[in-house]
């Protein structure tokens, strides 16, 4: 049975004001699908890339990749989930809504001890840290690493996870208050990203260079990051907060000391059979052990999606933000 729900949609790429709260039809779940009534929708930088057209979508497009809620209905071929189950998801499409239909395979059950708003706020970000730390440049403890935007949603989780692994994480952030927040969550130190002598500060901390730099800023920090790497170091580009990197010049990687450049994505790892479920299990276990927690420092009504994106892109947020249907 089809019903109407509220959702955020764009008719064409643009700024935050391109988003509109509209009524859309939600059909009954297909054979392998589950209908989830959303309790909270996670807000992520990738949502702004979809909205702006940096990552193109077919138009009109529904925004949002992450959320958590309660199973309302299941299709006839669904076997592992039932009405009333608490579930969460990441890297879906159309999560800025009151409800959503998703394949059963795209959902994970939220265990006891984890609140739905926490699951909606952490899953995509923590899965990002998981593939960064365990797949892209595996960390075993004892390393000293550089992590940009350490007070953001991904950054605060990275600080906690690094501390758990015995990794010395040096962060960057745009204000002294954000740096202090990163330190409180496990960063060994945090430097102001706007300091003119940031390169010199990084050399003082790591005279031989860092083995890896995790950079979600992009254009503004790229060459600074290359200069901070040790020979044979790895530049991990996993975001474009300041815009996309103009060009990767192989000669610069050679001059920096045979550097490695990689641009991993969560979507690639999500396509690996079983990876999402295994990652979610790791994350929820660390949450229940008290290793990982999520700072939900901004909450917006679904109708306030424009304000939420404005705050995120102006770097006025810390930790995680939620839309509440």
**Residue by residue, what is the 3-state secondary structure of the chain?**
CCEEEEEEEECCCCCHHHCEEEEEEECCCCCCEEEEEEEEEEECHHHHHHHHCCCCCCCCEECCCEEEEEEEEECCCCCCCCCCCEEEECCCCCCCECEEEEEHHHCEECCCCCCHHHHHHHHHHHHHHHHHHHHHCCCCCCCEEEECCCCEHHHHHHHHHHHHHCCEEEEEECCHHHHHHHHHCCCCEEEECCCCCHHHHHHHHCCCCEEEEEECCCCCCHHHHHHHEEEEEEEEECCCCCCCCCCCCHHHHHHCCCCEEECCCHHHHHCCCCHHHHHHHHHHHHHHCCCCCCCEEEEEEHHHHHHHHHHHHCCCCCEEEEEEC
Q: Look at residue 229 and tell me if it is in a domain.
A: yes
Q: Are residues 12 and 66 in the same domain?
A: yes
Token output for 11: 């008719």
Q: Are residues 241 and 151 in the same domain?
A: yes
Q: Is the pLDDT of residue 70 over 90?
A: yes
pLDDT of residue 244: 81
Q: Are residues 52 and 118 in the same domain?
A: yes
Q: Look at residue 285 and tell me if it is in a domain.
A: no
Q: Are residues 58 and 100 in the same domain?
A: yes
pLDDT of residue 96: 98
Give the end-to-end CA distance of the chain in Å, rounded to a whole number: 21
pLDDT of residue 1: 79
Q: Look at residue 212 and tell me if it is in a domain.
A: yes
Token output for 154: 């991904």
Segment 24-48 shows an average pLDDT of 96
Q: Is the pLDDT of residue 239 over 90?
A: no
Q: Look at residue 68 and tell me if it is in a domain.
A: yes
Higher local confidence (pLDDT), 241 or 220: 220
Q: Is the pLDDT of residue 243 over 90?
A: no
| pTM (two decimals) | 0.91
Confidence band, pLDDT 50/70/90 cuts, at residue 318: confident
Going from the C-alpha of 182 to that of each of 154, 230, 290, the distances in angstroms are: 11, 24, 17
Q: Look at residue 165 and tell me if it is in a domain.
A: yes
Going from the C-alpha of 163 to that of each of 166, 167, 321, the distances in angstroms are: 5, 6, 23
Domain range enclosing 77: 3-122+292-324
Cα separation, 149 vs 322, in Å, equals 19
Q: Look at residue 268 and tell me if it is in a domain.
A: no
Q: Are residues 243 and 190 in the same domain?
A: yes
pLDDT of residue 277: 95
Confidence band, pLDDT 50/70/90 cuts, at residue 246: confident
Confidence band, pLDDT 50/70/90 cuts, at residue 302: very high
Q: What's the total number of domains in the chain?
A: 2
Q: Are residues 47 and 146 in the same domain?
A: no
Cα separation, 136 vs 264, in Å, equals 7
pLDDT per position as a tens digit, 101-111: 999 999 999 99
Higher local confidence (pLDDT), 218 or 134: 134
Confidence band, pLDDT 50/70/90 cuts, at residue 319: confident
pLDDT of residue 218: 84
pLDDT of residue 245: 86
pLDDT of residue 247: 86
- Tell me if 34 sits within 8 A of 81, measured CB to CB: yes
pLDDT of residue 241: 78
């Amino acid at each position: 049975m089809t019903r109407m729900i509220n959702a955020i949609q764009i008719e064409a790429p643009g700024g935050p004001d391109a988003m509109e709260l509209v009524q859309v039809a939600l059909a009954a779940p297909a054979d392998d699908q589950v209908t989830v009534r959303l309790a909270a929708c996670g807000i992520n930088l990738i949502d702004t890339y979809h909205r702006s057209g940096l990552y193109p979508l077919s138009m009109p497009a529904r925004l949002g990749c992450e959320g958590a809620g309660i199973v309302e209905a299941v299709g006839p071929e669904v076997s592992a989930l039932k009405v009333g189950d608490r579930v969460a998801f990441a890297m879906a499409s159309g999560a800025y809504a009151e409800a959503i239909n998703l394949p059963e395979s795209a959902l994970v059950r939220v265990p006891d001890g984890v609140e739905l708003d926490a699951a909606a706020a952490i899953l995509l970000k923590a899965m990002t840290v998981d593939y960064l730390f365990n797949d892209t440049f595996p960390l075993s403890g004892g390393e000293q690493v550089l992590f940009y935007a350490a007070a953001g949603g991904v950054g605060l989780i990275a600080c906690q996870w690094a501390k758990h692994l015995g990794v010395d994480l040096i962060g960057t952030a745009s204000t002294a208050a954000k740096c202090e927040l990163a330190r409180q969550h496990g960063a060994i130190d945090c430097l102001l990203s706007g300091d003119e002598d940031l390169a010199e500060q990084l050399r003082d901390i790591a005279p031989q260079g860092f083995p890896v730099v995790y950079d979600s800023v992009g254009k503004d920090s790229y060459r600074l990051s290359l200069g901070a790497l040790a020979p044979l170091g790895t530049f991990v580009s996993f975001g474009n907060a300041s815009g996309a990197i103009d060009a990767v010049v192989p000669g610069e990687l050679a001059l920096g000391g045979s550097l490695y450049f990689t641009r991993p994505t969560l979507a690639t790892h999500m396509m690996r059979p079983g990876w999402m479920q295994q990652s979610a299990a790791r994350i929820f276990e660390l949450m229940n052990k008290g290793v990982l927690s999520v700072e939900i420092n901004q909450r917006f009504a679904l109708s306030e999606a424009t304000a939420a994106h404005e705050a995120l892109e102006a770097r006025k947020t810390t930790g995680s933000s939620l839309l509440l249907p």
